[in-house]
């Protein structure tokens, strides 16, 4: 691994961490596209790497800040953690069986739909 690659990975990680703490995004929206477009990872490699970050408590300091201010419902987190594990397993089985181009298109459509909803349909 070259020094340039290490620096790019550090910048991507820092940006994802800042945005995760700031607005709750990171893995799917920052890390996956950056690994694909900046470092040439396949879609599956980028998704696997992003998920690998979730296995370690990388967001623990941000979580502590939100929890201390009363912004985390532990019951909701518990329910979502259990179902996330199952959903992650099902989704990963599907993702590794599909062609990379198909996954990229699904990923892009999901991001686009979420962005459009947030821009135009969210009235709150």
pLDDT along the chain (124 residues), means of 10: 92 84 75 90 87 78 90 88 87 90 90 87 68
Q: What is the pLDDT of residue 122?
A: 66
Nearest alpha-carbon partner for 96 in 110, 88, 83, 5: 88
Q: What is the pLDDT of residue 102?
A: 93
Per the rule left: phi > 0, alpha: psi between -120 and 50, beta: everything else, 7 is: alpha
Q: What is the pLDDT of residue 56?
A: 66
Domain that holds residue 84: 3-121
Nearest alpha-carbon partner for 104 in 38, 59, 37, 55: 37
Q: Could you give the number of structural domains in the chain?
A: 1
Nearest alpha-carbon partner for 48 in 26, 20, 19, 28: 28
Residues 6+ apart with CB under 8 A from 21: 59, 61, 62, 65
Q: What is the pLDDT of residue 59?
A: 82
């Amino acid at each position: 691994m070259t020094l340039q690659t290490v620096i790019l990975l550090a910048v991507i990680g820092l940006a994802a961490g800042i945005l995760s703490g700031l607005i709750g995004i990171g893995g799917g929206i920052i890390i996956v596209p950056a690994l694909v477009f900046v470092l040439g990872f396949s879609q599956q490699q980028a998704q696997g790497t992003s998920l690998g970050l979730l296995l370690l408590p990388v967001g623990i300091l941000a979580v502590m800040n939100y929890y201390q201010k009363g912004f985390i419902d532990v019951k909701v987190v518990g329910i979502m953690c259990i179902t996330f594990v199952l959903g992650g397993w099902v989704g990963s089985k599907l993702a590794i069986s599909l062609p990379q181009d198909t996954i990229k298109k699904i990923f892009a459509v999901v991001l686009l739909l979420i962005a459009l909803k947030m821009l135009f349909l969210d009235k709150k």
